[in-house]
Structure 1
Amino acid sequence: MATNTSLRFLSSSLRKAPRSIPRSKFAIRSVHQRRALLYPEAAGVGNFLPPEALKTVVQFQDGLLERLNEEVKGTSEENSTVVQTVISTSINREKTLAFNYASLALNNSFFLDNIKPPTVEGGDHEGEISRELHSAITEQYGSTRQLKSSFSAAALGMSTNGWVWFVTDSRGVIGILPTFGPGTLLVRSRQYMAAEQGLSLGDLYVSPGEDGTSSSSPIPKSPLPGVPPSSPASGVSSPISPKPPKDVGPRFFHSSIASQVNFSSAGKSNIYGNVNRNVSKEKLPTILNVGEVLYPLFCVSVHEHAWLSGGYGVWGKEQWLKEFWSVVDWEKASQAYRRAINVKSSLIS
């Protein structure tokens, strides 16, 4: 009888115990979850990512976040956002796997955020390019056709998985850069600065210094479009990236990048046909004179699963890349470009 009474008392105590413990926001582990897409998943994104292909890319994102959740369980990154995880693990070789998952998820989210289905008539969104961005493209590449060719050539030249980014600096100098594997241009100097805060994976925006750290780079008070890389060469490409030689200036780009990317496509033929040979190369920027801080405007995921699941076959990468231009969100890219070129004037004022 005494035993039954003790059990009832113990059971009652256990039910009441949690009420006496103060709730803490740190008591429950944060779990990263993919936020809803900005467009209907079932319809796909044009011929670039048909429904089955978009489903594959979304599954890739879900898998990255699931593995990230398991990897950071019981660690200091357990309650960190994806961005914070990229920052904290990038300097720790023992946390390479967590870095890889977080960085890939961040890139994939940015990629999906900056595309949208073609128009009702099936057309692209080039008509949404702002006058400012169109002028920069014309002056620095000759035409949007040539820009597409250079961008696609960079992606076609990649023999491994990665990302190709269309970027600008605060002076309006635009360019194309690849990163390989989990390399990213979305983090620099322990900062993530996005034009649209709160969209990437549902993470909350972390203000400069909010995590107890400071940056040596001046950060404007207003949020910036896109995000600058941690190093001009490759962004955050891997934990403990090697430092460039001491005699190399802040605008140094790794030779492997420079050899694969040409900011000018003038005088060359390409997958879109012959290009204008009358563009003056002297007026075109090179990869060595782009600003130290770069702002990604959009990127493309160069992963085989994307074009294979889209029905393009093993050798369908080139045709698949042509379809990319029908879904680029040029309106969003133009808005990001405008805010980027306003950074310099805001810093001066």
Structure 2
Amino acid sequence: MPQAGPGVSPVEGVTYVGIDTLQEQTRLKALRRGYTFNLLVVGRSGLGKSTFVNTLFKATVARRKSGEEEPLPSTTEVKTVSSSLSEGGVRLNLTITDTPGFGDHINNENCWEPIVSYIEAQYGRYLQEEQKVDRLLHIPDTRIHCCVYFIPPTGHSLSSLDVEVLQRLDKIVNVVPVVAKADTLTLEERAAFKERIRADLSDHAIKVYPLQEYEDLDDAPENMKIRERLPFAVVGSTTWHEIHGKKLLGRRSNWGLVEVENKSHNDFAYMRDMLIRTHMQDLIGSTAERHYENFRRARLSTKTTSKVNIVNGQDTDHMEDLNESKI
């Protein structure tokens, strides 16, 4: 059989078009541009948010306290740290947004407002750029793609503050709940705690990622396994320990070592796989297609309604003046 040349497929006599190269073309274009992922971490101080994120990406990508203890903010603040990671020729532009001061005060009334305002501000910035006549070819994407919500390992249930905040966040961002410092709970306590949290989420109609109503049939089995494991009970550590000649990330205690990436010790590996290896692109896509789209529709509808009301209001005033003059 002669070798296939230009315009000829490996099957003799069949013309080759080249449609099968589209996937490779798309891949190369994406590699040149790089990917953007924006992660928001929300939770009280001392739950290991920065350590968890640094463990997740195996790099120092989150703001960490060093030296003296930082003063507690009087209100919730929003702080971002951006970095660029590269692995296997793939570049990821990563932004971590932290919320120091959240839930750390005696009076935590409205402590979620700076967080909600920040998320919506990023949508507003993207919408403003999108509506310009002369707009950028590639609009910088600062929209939050995922919010990791840290729950204290109390072993009881969600607090009223947790419920209040989650009911607001789930409508504007992909929320993934986690039980922080899961090694402080026994396996029985951990299982019971997760069950109570799932019941609280259901009772208060809080929808966490991944949502069943938006998934493809092909993704349903994998997403079902994820939902059954939520909230993820995680342990984070950036300290390496050598055990039997093998280096492992973990937290050492008097009774042994909790291995961060050991699936029988905690859910860190399951969560990492979901956030990075299987669902990162879906998190980015669902942010654009659902949460941002809902914001865009609501914002533009409000503007349209306001304009109509202004016009109608002027007409109404004019008619009232005419009627008064007739009287």
Q: TM-score range by the shorter chain?
A: under 0.3
What's the TM-score, normalizing by structure 1?
0.22
- Which structure has the highest strand share of the two? 2
Greater RCO (CA < 8 Å, at least 6 residues apart): 1
What's the TM-score, normalizing by structure 2?
0.23
**Structure whose alpha-carbon radius of gyration is higher:** 2
